[in-house]
Amino acid sequence: MRRLEKSETEKDTTSKSDCISAWPRKVQSKSGQVESISEQDSSNPFITYDFLSSLEESGAATARTGWLGRHLLVEDENGSVLAAQPVYLKNHSRGEYVFDHGWAEAFESAGGHYYPKLQIAVPFTPVTGPRLLVRPGPSADAAREALVAAGLQLVKREKASSLHVTFPLESEWKYLTGLGLLARTDRQFHWINKGYQTFADFLSVLSSRKRKMILRERREALKEGVEILRLSNADLTETAWDAFYKFYMDTGSRKWGTPYLNRKFFSIVGERMRNRIVLIMAKRAGRFIAGALNFLGDQSIYGRYWGMTEPRPFLHFEVCYYQAIEYAIERGLKVVEAGAQGAHKLTRGYQPVTTYSAHFIANSSLRRAVAEYLERERAYVAAEAKELSALTPFRREEPDF
């Protein structure tokens, strides 16, 4: 069994990428069948070669933008891929959605160097998914151990301060923290499909006040001739991407200062993943005025980016939340993930769920300080989740006297 690092060169930071070219697209099983490398990666669009290569080939995630690929593979003696993980060497903490700026400032103030650091993650994507992609079989446990060991060795080799695994599966998080990595939790809001056949079925389980609120918001959003279009496959034209990119730039410039993605990314990913993309666009008077980009998994729809150029009441909720819920119900999808943050999602039927990250910090003093902080933070996140769960808009059962 061999641990291999597939990295892009320092000079090549634009269209070509030596590192992602080695990312496993499919593996060959003993029976000769072509299958995904792990049981989970085929259902998660963001861990695929198509998505990761789109980020790198567009120039959005490269050394130039502070995301230098250091992806790791574990291969057997015949060169067959047994395990893989997406790893990036970073000189900043942007685009991660698991915030460690305070750790960096504290370490730098004490005379240390927090950057570079290593990030096992999907750039700019706060979506839970596999981070230790391991091919099922008798070598799975050994391959997983080799993958983690290679990541820790890479910390020393790159003279990095730390290694961070963000938004892993809960099972991966338990495995990593069981090995001694520091445990961190946070929360997002997801909509859960409880077997609804129609949007009206979903509304029927809400309190009367919340049900009326949602119906009113949907009516208001579609006033004055606003229509909603769902674009996928051949409908994902360059004209549609041009319109959406304006929306993305407007939102990104206001929220982050400098948007992470460029126009080229949307063209590349739109071509490679057109059957796993739903672009929900609002149109009025013959032109697009708002849009939301969604990716599809086997059981989930993931809302990623949104924007508008003609502000209208409640259009955000319609395009981002209600349309995604309706789409999930129509196609029998189990979950709508609408990105990070946003307690306002709670009153619209989304529920708090826990997200995870695991952290290895080389410096013992910083590690102790962070461990103490995370213990308090986990308690706060757990308590907050209980409070938020009590605020969901679902009807309460009447007491049985």
Mean pLDDT of 272-278: 97
Residue 128, pLDDT above cutoff 60: yes
Concatenated DSSP letters of 365-377: HHHHHHHHHHHHH
According to the model, what pLDDT value does residue 30 have? 47
Across the chain, mean pLDDT equals 89
What the block records as the tokens of 160 is 């990095």
CB < 8 Å & 24+ apart, contacts of 253-256: 256/94
Residue 168, pLDDT above cutoff 70: yes
Mean pLDDT of 263-268: 98
Question: Interhelix angle for 263-272 vs 49-57, to 10°?
Answer: 150
User: How much of the chain exceeds pLDDT 70, in percent?
Assistant: 88
The answer to whether residues 310 and 290 touch, using CB atoms and an 8 Å cutoff, is yes
Burial class (CB in 10 A: 0-12, 13-18, 19+), 234: exposed
- What digits encode the pLDDT tens for the residues 232-265? 999 999 999 999 999 999 887 776 667 899 999 9
Q: 40: how many CB neighbours lie within 10 A of its CB?
A: 20
Residue 21, pLDDT above cutoff 60: yes
Q: Please tell me the total number of residues recorded for the chain in this structure.
A: 401
Q: Is the pTM of this model over 0.75?
A: yes
- What digits encode the pLDDT tens for the residues 59-116? 999 999 999 999 999 999 888 889 999 999 999 999 999 999 999 999 999 999 999 9
Residue 391, pLDDT above cutoff 50: yes
Examine residue 116 and say whether the peptide bond preceding it is cis (omega within 30 degrees of 0).
Answer: yes
According to the model, what pLDDT value does residue 228 have? 98
Confidence grade of residue 340 (pLDDT, cut at 50, 70, 90): confident
Identity of residue 373: Y
The answer to whether residues 127 and 167 touch, using CB atoms and an 8 Å cutoff, is yes
What the block records as the tokens of 223 is 């006033």
Confidence grade of residue 143 (pLDDT, cut at 50, 70, 90): very high
C-alpha span between 152 and 351 (Å, rounded): 35
C-alpha span between 94 and 90 (Å, rounded): 9
Concatenated DSSP letters of 171-226: HHHHHHHHTTPEEEEEEEEEEE--S-SSHHHHHHTB-HHHHHHHHHHHHHHT-TT-
Confidence grade of residue 22 (pLDDT, cut at 50, 70, 90): low
- Show the domains of the chain with their CATH numbers: 2-189+354-387 (3.40.630.30), 194-333 (3.40.630.30)
Confidence grade of residue 148 (pLDDT, cut at 50, 70, 90): very high
